[in-house]
Structure 1
Amino acid sequence: MWPSVLPDPRLRHAALALDTGTQGLLYIVGPLLVAALASTHSPTTALAVTAVLGMAGTAAVALAPPSRRWRPAPPAQVPARETPRLASPALVLLFASLVGIGFAIGAMNVWAVSMAEQYRQEMLSGILPASFSTGSFLGGLLYGRRHWNSTTISRLVTVAGAFVAGWLPLLFLPGPYAATVAVAVPGAFMTVVAACAYATTDTLAPAARTSEAYAWLILSIGVGQSAGTALSGRLAEQPLASAVLPAAGAAFALAVLLAARRRLVPPRQPTSSPRPFPFPPPPIGDPPCPTHQQSRS
C-alpha cells in the first residue's frame, strides 16, 4: 500500500527504510520480551501476550484509513493460456535455496533454547536471537547506504557464502558471551541475502505475478524455518549437533545458488522499477519459549 500512501518515490524510500528499521527493532525486542515473560511468569503468559499483541497489530493495520481506502488495480484481460508461468526453473531453484536460509534461522532459535538450558540462563533463549537480529538490522543499514556495481546475483552468492562462514564459530561450542557476539555475524548478512533474493525475484518473475512470487519467497523461508525447528528440537540435547545445523542449512542454500547461478540471470528487464532497498525483511520469528526443560519434567 505504500505507493498509494506516498506517491513520491523519495518519501516512499524513506518510509520503506523506516518500515525495515521498525521490524528489525521488533525482532530484537520480541525475543527478549518472550524470554523475560517466560522466565518471570510462565510460557503461557508469554504466549498470551504474543497473541494479544499480534491481534492488536493486525486490527490496527486492517482498520487504518489507507487500508480501508485501498483497492486493487483491475486485472489485465489476458487469456488463461497466455498467462506467464511463475514456476520457472530459476525461481524454483532460488526458492529452494531460501529453504536453507530459513532452516538456519529455525535451527538457530532452538539452539538458543538449548544454550539457555545448558548454562541455566533462561534469558539466553531471547538474547541470542536478539543478537542475530541486531546484526541483521545493522547489516541492512550498511548495505542500504552503499552503491553496488556488482550484479545482484553475484552479491547474492557472495553474501550467501559469508552467511555460511558466519555460522562456523558455533562449531567450537562457545560460551554464552562469545556465542552472543558470534551469532551477530551471520545475522549481519541475513537482511542482505533477503534483499538480493527480493531483487532477483523481481527480475525473474513475470511482471504480472511479482506479488505472488514474493509470497512464495516468504513461504520458502517459512518452510525452512519449520524444518529447522523440527529437526533441531530432536537434537536439542546434543550441543554439537545443535550448533552444526544452522551452518548446514546455510551451506545447502549456498550449494543450490552455486549450482543455479547461470539460470538466475534475468531473461528480461523488469517493466517497472524494482522496489528500492531496504525491503521489509521476511519474518524470522520469535524463538520457541524455553519450555523444553519444563516439558521433560
Structure 2
Amino acid sequence: MTLTDSPSPARRTYGAVLGSPYVARLLGGTLIGRLPNAMAPVAIVLLVTADGGTLAFGGLLSALYGLASALSQPVKGRLMDRHGQTRVSGPAAVLNSAALLALPATGATGSPALAATVVVLGGLAAPPLEAGLRALWPSVLPDPVRRHTALALDTGTQGLLYIAGPLLVAALTTAHNPALALIVTAALGLAGTALVLTAPPSRTWQPAPTQGGGTSGRLFSTGLLTLFAALVGVGVAIGGMNVWSIAMAERHDTDLLSGLLPAAFSTGSFLGGLLYGHRTWNSKPTRQLLTGAGGFLLGWLPLLTLPAPYPATAAVFVPGAFLTLIVARAFTITDTLAPPTRTTEAYAWLILSIGVGQAAGTALAGRLADHPHTLAALPAAAGAFALVVLLLARPGRTPVQRGRRHRQHA
C-alpha cells in the first residue's frame, strides 16, 4: 500500500473537513445521539441492582435492549431509504427516550415482564443515526478525498462512545442515582438526534429514485453476504475481548483491567482512524480491507501467551488500530455493491453483522471463561475467520455499475 503524493488542497487536514458545511454538526450530533447506545445498557443494570434486583436480571434487560436495537437496524434503514431520515429517526428518538424515562417508573424488580417490554420497545426505537450519517456523506462531501477523511474520523470516534458513556453513567449514579442517569441518557439521545435532523442535509435527503418498474434492487449479492460474514468474525473478536478483559481482571485481582483493556482497544481504534484518515491511499478498497484484516489478526496473537496486565493493554491497542481501516473500507465496498435505492439498509446490515458477532463472541467467551488459553485464543480465531473469508471471496473486487446516488441537499 503506497501513499499518493498529490498536494491536493482538498486533502490534508481534519480542520478542512470539519470546517466543511454541516460536517461538524452532523458528526457531533450523531455521536451525542448515539451515546444512549453506550449509556443505557449500563444504566439499566445499575437501576435494577439499586432496586434490589439481581445482576443476572439486570444483565438480561441490558442484553434485551442491545439485541432489540441491533436486530431492528435493517428495518429502520429500509424505512429511511423509502421515507427519508426525518420521518424515521425523529419518531424513533422520541419513543426511545420515552421508554428510557418510563423504565424507572415500571418498578423493574416488581414487574419484570413490564420492565422487559419497556426495554425491548426502547431498543427497537433506537434511532439509526450511524447508518443515516454514512448515507449523508456523499452529498455533504462530494470530494472523495475529504469523504475518505470524514469516514475515517467518523468510524474512529465511535469507540470513544463506549469509554465516555459508561463513565458518565457511573458518575451520575454515584452522585445521584441510576434514574437520573437514564434521564440524562434520554435527553442526550433527543438532543443529538435533533441536531442531525434539523440540519439541511438530513432534512432534504432523499434516496435515489427507483428505476424502471419501481423495484428497489436486489440487496444481498454474494459480495455483500461474504463481507457481512467476515464482519461477524470481527464482532466475535471484539465480544470475546470484552469477556477476556473481565477474566484478566479476576485473574490479576485488578478490577480496573475490565475497563482499561476495552478502553485501550477503543483508543487504538480512534488513533488508528486519525492516522488512516490523514492520508489518501491509492490502493483499492478491497486490498485495504485485506490489509486491515491481516493487521487485526496479528494484533490478537500476543494474547495467546497470556500476557501480564501492562503488555496486554499494549497488545489490544494494535487490533483496535486496524479496526477503523476494516470498518471504513467495509462501508466503502458496501456502498459500491448495494443498490443505490437501498444503501442505508445495507449500512444497517453491516452494523448488525458486527453487533451479532459481538453478541455471539460474548456468549461463546462466557462459556470458555474457565479455560484461559482457549478464551485468549478466541479473538485471534475470529480474526483468522474474517481474514480467510475475505481472502476467498474478495468482496468488491469487481464492483458493479452504479446508478444515481442519493440526491444532494438543497
Q: TM-score, normalised by structure 2?
A: 0.57
Over 3 Å counting, the alpha-carbon distance change for 1:243 and 1:272 in structure 2 is farther
Match of 2:273 among 137, 140, 147: 140
CA drift of 1:215 comes to 0.4
Q: 2:312 matched to 1:167?
A: no
* More relative contact order, 1 or 2 (CA 8 Å, 6+ apart): 1
Over 3 Å counting, the alpha-carbon distance change for 1:48 and 1:170 in structure 2 is farther
Match of 1:231 among 358, 364, 377: 364
Match of 2:386 among 236, 253, 271: 253
Partner of 1:116: 249
CA distance in 1, matches of 2:311, 2:377: 16
Q: 2:338 matched to 1:200?
A: no
Q: Secondary structure at the match of 2:217?
A: coil
Q: 2:161 matched to 1:29?
A: no
CA drift of 1:24 comes to 4.0
CA drift of 1:137 comes to 0.6
Q: 2:240 matched to 1:102?
A: no
Q: Secondary structure at the match of 1:206?
A: coil
User: Is 1:32–1:126's contact at 8 Å kept on the other side of the alignment?
Assistant: no
CA drift of 1:107 comes to 0.5
- Which string of whole-angstrom CA distances, capped at 9 and with x for unpartnered residues, describes residues 241-288 of structure 1? 111111111111111101101x532433445689xxxxxxxxxxxxxx
Which of 1 and 2 has greater Rg? 2
| Greater Cα shift, 249-258 or 16-25 | 16-25
User: Is 1:203–1:266's contact at 8 Å kept on the other side of the alignment?
Assistant: no
Q: Secondary structure at the match of 1:183?
A: helix
CA distance in 1, matches of 2:157, 2:184: 15
Partner of 1:58: 189
Q: Secondary structure at the match of 2:399?
A: coil
| Greater Cα shift, 78-87 or 190-199 | 78-87
The runs of 5 or more residues in structure 2 that have no matched partner are: 1-132
Partner of 2:373: 240
Q: 2:340 matched to 1:215?
A: no
User: Is 2:210–2:216's contact at 8 Å kept on the other side of the alignment?
Assistant: no
Letter in 1 for 2:311: A
- Which string of whole-angstrom CA distances, capped at 9 and with x for unpartnered residues, describes residues 197-244 of structure 1? 001111111111111110000000001001000010111122111111
CA distance in 2, matches of 1:7, 1:227: 36
CA RMSD for the aligned pairs? 3.3
Over 3 Å counting, the alpha-carbon distance change for 1:75 and 1:140 in structure 2 is closer
CA drift of 1:29 comes to 3.4
Partner of 1:281: none
CA distance in 2, matches of 1:180, 1:32: 19
Over 3 Å counting, the alpha-carbon distance change for 1:170 and 1:264 in structure 2 is same
Over 3 Å counting, the alpha-carbon distance change for 1:59 and 1:145 in structure 2 is same
Over 3 Å counting, the alpha-carbon distance change for 1:230 and 1:81 in structure 2 is same
CA drift of 1:82 comes to 3.9
For this pair of structures, how many residues does the alignment match? 267
Over 3 Å counting, the alpha-carbon distance change for 1:200 and 1:121 in structure 2 is same
- Which string of whole-angstrom CA distances, capped at 9 and with x for unpartnered residues, describes residues 50-81 of structure 1? x4453222111234484487255277355667
Partner of 2:288: 155
Over 3 Å counting, the alpha-carbon distance change for 1:82 and 1:62 in structure 2 is closer
CA distance in 1, matches of 2:336, 2:361: 29
Identity of aligned residues (%): 54
Over 3 Å counting, the alpha-carbon distance change for 1:80 and 1:217 in structure 2 is farther
Letter in 1 for 2:328: A
Letter in 1 for 2:399: P
Partner of 1:290: none
Q: 2:216 matched to 1:83?
A: yes
User: Is 2:216–2:339's contact at 8 Å kept on the other side of the alignment?
Assistant: no
Partner of 2:61: none
